Amino acid sequence: MKTLRFLLEKEFRQLLRNRQLMRTLLLAPLIQLILLPTAADYSVKDIGIAVTDNDHSTTSRRLIEKIVSSGYFRLIGYTDGYPQALKMVEQDKADLALQIPIHLERDLVRENQKQVFVSINAIEGTKANLGGAYLRSIVSDFDDEIRLQWNVAQSDAPTVSVASSNWYNPYLKFPLYMVPAILVTLVTAMVAMQSAFNIVQEKESGTIEQINVTPIRKHIFIIGKMIPFLVLGIVLFTMGLLVGWALYGVRPVGSLLTLYGSLVIYLLSMLGLGLLLATYSGTQQQAMSLSFFFINIFNMMSGVFTAVDSMPGWAQAIVASFPPSHFIRIMRMVVLKGSGIGDIKYELAWMVGIGAILNIWAVLNYRKTA
């Protein structure tokens, strides 16, 4: 314990002495946490639509007004011919082109059905899918309205209505969903990368050779390297929670003890990854390349922006080995749902197992000359 205490004293002094590094480690993630949740919004609004109205009836005008007043669409052009509307889509002036056929109102009355034609710019897949879904929903609602209006005789017939309730995030605010996940990614980047850089920096400066010739055991050395960044990760996480509460109103519904207990397990697993990368890196450039390789994969596949359940089976199997994917799920469950240990035990077990493998691997792979 005396040896570990001396190592920790050295590491904390070395870490706190570099004030520029401390500012980067603490301020940069907070600035990102302030900016990213606002920008990462899955809802699509201000969709440009070009309309070709070949009917010029009261019904067609009501349909156009309903689309524009929904708040999702912005009328870019009102054309007399479909080629002009399609040209707006081709020139990226509009995202959708809606063609209302001639005799829309008359055929609805006579034949009780009529089709409208929609062309969607699918270069941006998410916007195309959501824009098309919004438009189909609006047209469907409009169809129900006019049928109800024109078939007054059936108004007394039994009807079925659906009342929906959004649990855990009733107003569908995306910052409530994104802040926990973004906070995990920022803590991951800072802790994993800096723990790797710390050891590699000592390799480059030659100071690690002085430690290697001492009788310090490998696992004591690894623990001495991990604890300062474990403390730093907890501090950064706490500051992130405060920023999320102050700016976005994100208050953990569940127990803070559960949240911080899970955080410690997660940080230990990610520190194990950082130290393992350091054992395979001879320079800071190599450590940076390896760190960015893993962090980019974690950010893209761990469920921050894309649901893991929607991925192919082989991708889900790979994601199961990512500690960030499990901690992101824990964060959302505890912060938004108030889940307890029993609800997150599966994710905790995965993080404990992965963390044990990474840390044992790092200890075994660290080459000590004495």
Task: Let me know whether 193 and 265 are in one domain.
Answer: yes
For the chain, 370 residues long, give each residue's pLDDT as a single digit of tens.
666 676 667 767 766 676 776 677 778 788 888 888 877 666 677 889 999 988 888 888 888 899 988 888 989 988 888 888 888 888 888 888 988 888 877 777 677 677 888 888 887 777 778 888 888 888 888 877 777 776 654 444 454 455 667 778 877 778 888 889 989 988 888 887 787 887 787 777 766 666 666 666 767 777 777 888 888 889 989 999 999 999 888 889 999 999 999 999 999 999 989 888 888 888 888 888 888 889 888 888 888 877 888 788 898 999 999 999 999 999 999 999 899 999 999 999 999 999 999 988 888 887 655 4
How far apart are alpha carbons 94 and 121 in whole angstroms? 8
In 3D space, the residue among 297, 298, 357 whose CA is nearest the CA of residue 326 turns out to be: 298
Same-domain status, 71 and 149: yes
Instruction: Evaluate whether residue 160 is within a structural domain.
Output: no
182, 249: one domain: yes
The residue from 101, 118, 153 where one domain ends is 153
Does residue 159 form part of some domain? no
User: Quick one: 205 and 303 in the same domain?
Assistant: yes
Give me the number of domains the chain comprises: 2
Rounded to 5 degrees, φ, ψ at 245 are -70, -45
SS3 of 115-132: CCEEEECCCCHHHHHHHH
Cα diameter, the chain = 94
Is residue 161 included in any domain, yes or no? Answer: no
Q: Which is nearest to 52 in space by CA: 116, 140, 133, 139?
A: 116
Q: Do both 182 and 275 map to the same domain?
A: yes
Q: Which tokens hold the place of 146? A: 């006019």
**Phi and psi dihedrals of 100, rounded to 5?**
-95, 120
250 falls within a domain? yes
Q: How many residues does the chain have?
A: 370
Chain centroid offset of residue 77 CA: 35
Q: Among residues 153, 181, 201, which one ends one of the domains? A: 153
For helices 19-39 and 218-248, angle between their N-to-C axes, nearest 10 degrees: 40
Label the pairing between strands 117-120 and 96-100.
antiparallel
**Contact between 109 and 81 (Cβ < 8 Å):** no
Instruction: Return d(Cα 154, Cα 57) in angstroms, integer.
Output: 25
Q: Are 41 and 174 in contact (CB under 8 A)?
A: yes
Same domain, 210 and 258: yes
145 within a domain of the structure (yes/no): yes
Looking at residue 212, what is its pLDDT? 61
Range of the domain at 288: 2-40+172-365
Same domain for 26 and 64, yes or no, is no
Using CA atoms, how far apart are residues 53 and 97, in angstroms rounded to an integer? Answer: 11
* Residue 146 maps to a domain: yes
User: Of 90, 125, 153, which closes a domain?
Assistant: 153
Tell me: do 35 and 51 sit in the same domain.
no
Find tokens 């893993």 and name the residue.
294
Residues sharing a CB contact under 8 Å with residue 81, sequence separation 6 or more, in sequence order = 52
Same-domain check for residues 209 and 311: yes
d(CA 299, CA 305): 8
My answer on whether 109 and 245 are in the same domain is: no
* β-strands 47-53, 73-79 pairing: parallel
Whether residues 248 and 318 share a domain: the answer is yes
Residue 166 within any structural domain of the chain: no
User: Angle at Cα 15 formed by Cα 22 and Cα 281, nearest 5°?
Assistant: 100
Distance CA 305, CA 178 (A): 8
Q: What span, in angstroms and rounded, lies between the C-alpha atoms of 240 and 273? A: 22
Does residue 136 sit in the same domain as residue 176? no
- Judge whether 165 lies within some domain: no
CATH code for the domain in which residue 120 is found: 3.40.1710.10
CA atoms within 13 A on the CB side of 112: 4
HSE-up (13 A, CA, CB side) for residue 361: 18
